[in-house]
Chains A and B, each alone.
Chain A
Amino acid sequence: MSLRRQIATLIRFELRDELRGGEVALVVLPFAVIALLTIPMAVGIDTPLLERIGPGIYWSIVMLFGVLVTQRHSSLAPAAARDMLRLSGVDPAARFAATTLATFILLLGFEVGAGLATVLLYNPSLSSWWWLAALLPLTAAGLAMIGTIGGNLVSGLQTRTSLAPLIVVPIAVPLLLGAAQATEGLRLGAGILRWVLLLAVVDTVLALAGVLTARPLEESAA
């Protein structure tokens, strides 16, 4: 089976497993919306302030709760299932790509859901909303890749569920910076191309790192 077919097959099964379990839609997203709701309750109904801080709060929430989305597969799929896939002859790079793409799709849905909640709660004003069509996928892709690499790094460790976020969040800082600064630029009507380019460069580096490290990380997992 070609690499492309392997990836397509794995994505199909991963998404089916997640959609039936509903962890992202029924647990992570509602929890994130509650987190978005707590900020206005804490700072008070100061509309100008909420409009100003809304985009930054949104990206922080995406980063922190997005980590839960990226790590859902390590708790869903038991270690034995990973062994089974290794013995099935699935290429490690195909596994990296499939897990990343499945996570990307889930993260994108999460970003849209949390984004709608942010608009309702904070009413941010952006000079152009169309740029979000680039910002959301670029950030989701980067976070998905970091999550998959982080998950591979800690797979096999008993502390993986608590260790993975500690690895993922610091590495995701450039994504947070790029996405938050770009959105701030949109709010102020300034140019954001350099921040979009930063996200694109980070994504490219992560894609290369993910594919190149997929096999060594899989082989080194106990």
Chain B
Amino acid sequence: MTSPTVSLRSIGVRKPGSLILRSIDLELHAGSATALFGSNGSGKTTLLRVVATLLRPSTGSGSVLGAALGSAETDSVRRRIGLIGHEPALYPNLTLAENAELAASVALGRQARSEARHALEQVGLAAAADRRASSCSNGMRRRVEFARMLIIAPDLLLLDEAHVGLDPEAWGLVGHLISDVTARGGSALVVAHEEERVRPLVDHTVTLVDGALTRNHS
């Protein structure tokens, strides 16, 4: 078996007055997609932020794409992580094309502009590329984030209820993103409520209840 892209051991996250995650053990393997289910407040987003290296756990250890959590190495792997959260990461007064370009500029430099236009075409936003994000629907803003993922082609794709409010066509984009990452040997972790819609897209499922993983099966 290949070494896991994500390996968490006894991860705990404590915030003032509460324990958000308790002794989480989780492995994501290359070429596989995992769904993370759980009710509101169960700790799904917190776990996703730990995996994204955006939140340092209070206890436990682990690695993401070979970099130990909490170490300086995480800097070098962050560009290989693609995260779509439940709040769109867009600047409201920039156009959709500029928002798509911004994320890619650091990695691609001048090439980012043409890549952004091309990616927006792929997600069906070519005609709206020059509209400001603030004047677009939530579904369109979501698609911009999908375009970003196409540009940066992450090795680890993290989706935090990224499908909420999407039309059926955009649902196809979620499936495309996941299969694209796993086909390239990467991993995907998909946070969702709607089990029946997400199950066909993933290889494994885990469930969080009150900050603890209670099920883990294929």
On whether the beta carbons of B132 and A20 are closer than 8 Å, the reply is yes
**Chain B interface bracket (under 10, 10 to 19, 20 to 34, 35 or more):** 20 to 34
Selecting from A45-53, A85-93, A120-128, the interface stretch reads: A85-93
Interface membership of chain A positions 1-17, coded 1 if the CB is closer than 8 angstroms to chain B and 0 otherwise: 10001100100010011
Which of A72-80, A110-118, A159-167, A174-182 faces chain B? A72-80
CB under 8 Å from chain B, chain A span 189-222: 219-220, 222
Closest partner residue, chain A, to B88 (CB atom): A80
> A90-116: which have CB < 8 Å to B?
90
Which residue, of A17, A87, A222, has the highest number of chain B Cβ atoms within 10 A?
Answer: A87
Given known contacts A89-B78, A222-B15, A81 and B83 CB-to-CB distance under 8 angstroms: no
The one of A16, A86, A87, A220 in contact with B93, judged by C-beta atoms closer than 8 angstroms, is A16
User: Which residues of chain A come closer than 8 Å to B105, judged between CB atoms?
Assistant: 1, 9, 88
> Which residues of A have CB within 8 Å of B102?
9, 13, 84, 88
Looking at the assembled complex, report how far the CB atom of A199 sits from the nearest CB atom of chain B, in whole angstroms: 32
Q: How far is the CB of B84 from chain A (nearest CB, A)?
A: 9
User: Do B93 and A20 touch (CB < 8 A)?
Assistant: yes
Q: Is residue B164 contacting chain A, with contact meaning CB distance below 8 A? A: no
Q: Decide: A88 and B106 in contact? CB cutoff 8 A.
A: yes
On whether the beta carbons of A84 and B79 are closer than 8 Å, the reply is no
Contact A76 B93 (CB under 8 A): yes
Contacts of A79 in B (CB 8 A): 87
Enumerate chain A residues within 8 angstroms of B93, measured Cβ to Cβ: 16-18, 20-21, 76
Contacts of B148 in A (CB 8 A): 84
Which chain A residues border B82 with CB–CB below 8 Å? 87
Contact of B85 among A16, A80, A89 (CB under 8 A): A80
Rounded to whole angstroms, the CA-CA distance of A26 and B93 in the bound complex is: 15
A83 touches B56 (CB 8 A): no
Q: Which of A18, A76, A80, A87 contacts B79 (CB 8 A)?
A: A87
Please measure, in the bound complex, the distance between the C-alpha atom of A20 and the C-alpha atom of B106, giving whole angstroms: 23
- Contact in complex: A13, B107 (CB < 8 Å): no
**Residue on B nearest A90 in the bound complex, by CB:** B106
Contact in complex: A13, B109 (CB < 8 Å): no
Report yes or no: A83 in contact with B94, Cβ–Cβ below 8 A.
Answer: no
In-complex Cβ contact of B83 among A17, A84, A222 (8 A): A84
Asked if A87 meets B78 with Cβ closer than 8 Å, knowing A1-B106, A17-B94, the reply is yes
A81 contacts which of B56, B78, B89 (Cβ < 8 Å)?
B89
CB distance from B40 to the nearest CB of A (A): 17
Known: A1-B106, A87-B82, A89-B78. A80 touches B94 (CB 8 A): no
The smallest beta-carbon distance between B214 and chain A, in angstroms, is 25
Q: Are B88 and A88 in contact (CB under 8 A)?
A: no
The 0/1 profile, CB within 8 Å of A marked 1, for residues 10-49 of chain B is 0000010000000000000000000000000000000000
Residue in B90, B92, B103, B109 whose beta carbon sits within 8 Å of that of A88 in the complex: B103
**Measured between alpha carbons, how far is A87 from B103 in the docked complex, in Å?**
9
Given the known A-B contacts A79-B87, A83-B85, are A88 and B107 also in contact in the complex, defined by CB atoms under 8 Å?
Answer: yes
With both chains docked as a complex, state the minimum distance between the C-beta of A117 and any C-beta of chain B, in angstroms: 26
Bound together, the chains give a CA A78 to CA B93 distance in angstroms of 12
In the complex, which of the residues B75, B90, B105 has the most CB atoms of chain A within 10 Å of its own CB atom?
B105
Q: How far is the CB of B47 from chain A (nearest CB, A)?
A: 14
CB neighbours (8 Å) of A16 from chain B are 93-94, 98
Task: Given the known inter-chain contacts A9-B105, A88-B106, please indicate yes or no for A83 contacting B91, CB distance below 8 A.
Answer: no
CA distance A77 to B75 in the complex (A): 22
Given A79-B87, A87-B79, 17 new contacts (CB under 8 A): A1-B105, A9-B106, A16-B93, A16-B98, A20-B93, A78-B88, A80-B88, A81-B89, A81-B91, A83-B89, A84-B102, A87-B82, A88-B78, A88-B79, A88-B104, A88-B105, A222-B55
User: Can you list 25 contacts pairing A with B, beta carbon distance less than 8 Å?
Assistant: A1-B105, A1-B109, A5-B109, A9-B105, A13-B98, A13-B102, A16-B94, A20-B94, A21-B92, A76-B91, A77-B91, A79-B87, A80-B88, A83-B85, A84-B89, A84-B103, A87-B79, A88-B102, A88-B107, A88-B152, A89-B78, A89-B106, A90-B106, A219-B56, A220-B56
